[in-house]
Amino acid sequence: MTRSLKGKVAFITGAGKGIGKAVAVALANEGVNIGLIARTQVDLEEVEREVKSLGVKSAYAAVDISSQEEVNQSIIKLTDMLGPADILINNAGIGSFATLLDMDPEEWKRIIDVNLMGPYYVTRAVLPQLIEKNGGDIINISSTNGLNGAATSSAYSASKFGLIGLTESLAQEVRRNNIRVTALTPSTVATELAIKTNLIAENNNEKYMQPEDIAEVIVNQLKLHPRIYVKTASLLATNPF
């Protein structure tokens, strides 16, 4: 028997568009109150309106998650407005692709700072709330690039490999607190990032996974009985050819 998520509080990073937005809407449809975190305020305002129209509470914080100070302030703000979190979705991420020698070192570092240090900062700020509740869920959105490296993806792969390592280590630390920590590793998803980096063509994305597909998986996973959890799960498009 699946459990209800109604009345729970979820904090979601990268919530202004793509996977994060889809997860926010899907969880709001389940009665979850939503804390939205992203860089662009206008995107956050739009998602907040949509979420509130579904009858739940919502609040947002426009921050750069690679800044620990900004992250800490955002979690304080969202907690004050919504209460402590039950669910954390670490989804925010950036990507660009070039050979190791062709990519500027500052760009390489920026990808690590956002994709790996960002989830670390957010998790570090939210985790005490879950420990105090003696339960909760953290879902980290990694990538198939976190399982297998590819030419031109050294920075992105390093960040996503690292996120899986963080996930697996933290899961062992907090499972006795009834906290489930999962890494999802989707292949290419039809998002703005995938189109901008030419991973998919804008006019040919219907065969690829959609953000709503990831959101459906996350909702179903959160409804699992608290006594079990998914360690990692690879999500692949059936026939993207």
DSSP states of 15-74: TTSHHHHHHHHHHHHTT-EEEEEES-HHHHHHHHHHHHTTT--EEEEE--TT-HHHHHHH
Q: Where are the domains of the chain?
A: 9-232
Is residue 199's pLDDT more than 80?
A: no
pLDDT at 8: 98
3-class SS of residue 11: strand
Tell whether domain 9-232 is in CATH 2.60.40.1220.
no
pTM over 0.85: yes
3-class SS of residue 161: helix
Mean pLDDT of 133-145: 97
Catalytic residues: 156
Q: Report residue 104's pLDDT band, with 50, 70 and 90 as the boundaries.
A: very high
Give the span between the Cα atoms of 181 and 18, in whole angstroms.
22
